Copies of this chain bind each other. A is one copy, B any other.
């Protein structure tokens, strides 16, 4: 068998939801389009699947193009396939979401693509079905960040427990008791004390921790659930 005859072949788009955290709120990397179609409107970063390119590689390429970053957390979310989702031509879009550290960005690359970090709360309306993609991605992030400690992917290498606490409040949009949260995180044994303190603080300086990478891998492989009670917040 050489090929499937009579098959209908379609253009495969990829769109990427890029999450970041600035210490206060959850952010999205969005682009104000300086190209067709829908020039002037806001959208996710996207592209098309190329010949001899795996989906995951294509998503990785698109993320790299915009941010200059490799090896970030990048996971497939879902594929959007309404017939008229793109008025230009029938496409399906395979959507990925990425977690990146905002500081690691190359500002020149960002500016070249007319991209900026937007507070999730201030998100403008996006083109096509991109709003729905963001909604789905946030739900998936909430689920994954409860089951696995992937939130760390949004923080710099060294961080304090209060920073982690603010991150999780931002992800779930709720208040979490600071003291109970701290104890729970410490109990996971995911943190390795560095002995350093957060010198940027204006008040009491918190202890800086780094990720215990072995434990982290164990958690990713299902060794235990990171914060099971948060999974309930990943609902419609």
A positions within 8 Å CB-CB of B? 1-4, 7-12, 36-37, 48-56, 58, 76, 78-83, 88-92, 94, 143, 147, 221-222, 225, 228-229, 231-232, 234-236
Contact = CB atoms under 8 A, between A and B. Distances in A.
Given A12-B92, A51-B8, A55-B79, A228 B225 contact: no
B94 A82 contact: no
Contacts of A37: 1
Nearest to A48: B7
A92 B53 CA distance: 11
14 contacts: A1-B37, A3-B89, A4-B88, A8-B12, A9-B10, A51-B90, A54-B82, A54-B83, A55-B82, A58-B81, A76-B78, A81-B94, A147-B234, A228-B228
B231 A235 contact: no
Nearest to A232: B225
- A interface secondary structure, majority: loop
Q: How many copies does the complex hold?
A: 2
A79 B232 CA distance: 26
Contact of A10 (B49, B225, B235): B49
A57 B82 CA distance: 9
A60 to B, nearest CB: 12
Contacts of A92: 12, 49, 55, 94
Contact of A4 (B53, B79, B89): B89
Given A231-B228, A232-B228, A12 B10 contact: yes
Contacts of A53: 83
Given A2-B88, A10-B12, A79 B79 contact: yes
A235 B228 contact: no
Nearest to A94: B79
Given A55-B81, A56-B81, A4 B48 contact: yes
A79 B76 contact: yes
Contacts of A55: 79-82, 92
A231 B231 CA distance: 8
Nearest to A148: B235
B4 A147 contact: no
A9 B11 contact: yes
